[in-house]
Copies of this chain bind each other. A is one copy, B any other.
């Protein structure tokens, strides 16, 4: 059936794990949500002609490019969606914004603060022309996390005192797991820190509405070299693994204590070596009136302790965040019919498209992502300086 809604024509760069998640979101958002612009999967870019053709077919894109510069130049594209490793973000994002395309860029925003600052500057300039950039800290759009944010804003938590944030995975526990681009500092920027630590830094700051103003950190690489040739995801990968090993140049784990602008203290930990924890994004916030706790391994649930309940009946509530009153979920299924990982991406598209149609800055902005980048850099600096305290300068653009 013909749809008369205006289109948002999307061009995507990269088609690995993130590309699949984004494509699904672009295909699905308008099926469940009223959108002012209907996303169109106009073109996808990748260096390998066969690979990108196959991806286009599988993921539903109408055309392909083998050079992202071509994508950025096309007149029939309104938005560039960047799903490539971090070392390419700066160049693509800036080119796209300067070409007048909106940008959705996967996290972390860049591999250094310098890159991120440049990107944020260009994004601010573009925004004045009505061209907007957003960074994909997708977990903000998990309904239980969005509900946690709402609870803080409603004053249910009161004055925040503690933030406890962990992102625990275990896929590198095995010492023989192969080397990929994610363990190569030149491509990935950092290891667990930027890949997954960035998420909990963003979540903690966003949910509490308060920024990290200083921290002390340690990092650790448990396995310093790994078998070469296992790069199955990402842009490249060459094969050949006859016992050869290559160096791991990133952290396997990072941990830090932090102070927030509102007086709270925080403890953060990101690792790929927590055997048995598959994707445990955990966030607990304790305030003067209430507490919230979340674990992505039970992602449809938010735990909430209301300190104003009568004394004999106080306890953490296991809120199954699937009621019509909860963020996003009313557009999906009846109560109790849980959502999955990919729904965060769909919700991200929903919010992004609505903001673009309204001429509003979508969040997290590049300035928001730059602030996360500053925290990531401070973690690395502190870890290199025997955990010396690193203050984080306030991000002016936010």
> Within 8 Å CB of A325, what residues of B?
311-312
A57 contacts B276, C-beta separation under 8 Å = no
The B-contacting residues of A in range 149-183, CB under 8 angstroms, are 150-151, 156, 161-162, 164, 166, 169-171, 173, 175
> Within 8 Å CB of A28, what residues of B?
24, 27-28
**Most B Cβ at <10 Å: residue of A303, A315, A339:** A315
Task: Encode contact with B along A253-281: 1 for CB under 8 Å, 0 otherwise.
Answer: 10111010001010101010111111110
A322 contacts B278, C-beta separation under 8 Å = yes
A225 at the A/B interface (Cβ < 8 Å)? no
> Within 8 Å CB of A387, what residues of B?
216, 257, 387-389
Compute how far the CA of A95 lies from the CA of B312 in the bound complex, rounded to whole angstroms: 43
A370 at the A/B interface (Cβ < 8 Å)? no
A257 contacts B323, C-beta separation under 8 Å = no
The B-contacting residues of A in range 291-315, CB under 8 angstroms, are 291, 296-307, 309, 311-315
A182 to chain B, nearest CB (A): 11
* A274 nearest in chain B by CB position: B286
CB < 8 Å: which of B156, B265, B313 contacts A253?
B265
A interface bracket (residues with beta carbon within 8 Å of B): 35 or more
A257 contacts B259, C-beta separation under 8 Å = no
Compute how far the CA of A377 lies from the CA of B124 in the bound complex, rounded to whole angstroms: 48
CB < 8 Å: which of B58, B59, B299, B318 contacts A315?
B318
A288 at the A/B interface (Cβ < 8 Å)? yes
A190 at the A/B interface (Cβ < 8 Å)? no
> Within 8 Å CB of A287, what residues of B?
275
A50 at the A/B interface (Cβ < 8 Å)? no
> Within 8 Å CB of A1, what residues of B?
53, 56-57, 61-64
> Within 8 Å CB of A316, what residues of B?
276, 317-318
Q: A175-B288, A317-B316 are in contact. Are A334 and B279 (CB under 8 A)?
A: yes
Compute how far the CA of A300 lies from the CA of B311 in the bound complex, rounded to whole angstroms: 16
The B-contacting residues of A in range 65-123, CB under 8 angstroms, are none
A318 contacts B320, C-beta separation under 8 Å = no
* A60 nearest in chain B by CB position: B31
Task: Encode contact with B along A366-397: 1 for CB under 8 Å, 0 otherwise.
Answer: 00000000000000000000111100000000
B313 contacts A319, C-beta separation under 8 Å = yes
> Within 8 Å CB of A323, what residues of B?
278, 311-312, 314
Compute how far the CA of A150 lies from the CA of B256 in the bound complex, rounded to whole angstroms: 30
Compute how far the CA of A1 lies from the CA of B57 in the bound complex, rounded to whole angstroms: 5
B315 contacts A317, C-beta separation under 8 Å = yes
9-residue interface stretch from A7-15, A340-348, A354-362:
A340-348
A230 at the A/B interface (Cβ < 8 Å)? no
B314 contacts A319, C-beta separation under 8 Å = yes
A34 to chain B, nearest CB (A): 9
A48 to chain B, nearest CB (A): 15
> Within 8 Å CB of A291, what residues of B?
274-277
The 6 closest A-B pairs by CB, nearest first: A279-B336, A278-B336, A276-B305, A340-B340, A315-B317, A315-B319
Residues of A within 8 A of B (CB): 1-3, 17, 20-21, 23-24, 27-28, 31-32, 53, 56-64, 147, 150-151, 156, 161-162, 164, 166, 169-171, 173, 175, 216-218, 220, 222, 253, 255-257, 259, 263, 265, 267, 269, 271, 273-280, 284, 286-291, 296-307, 309, 311-320, 322-323, 325-326, 332-343, 386-389
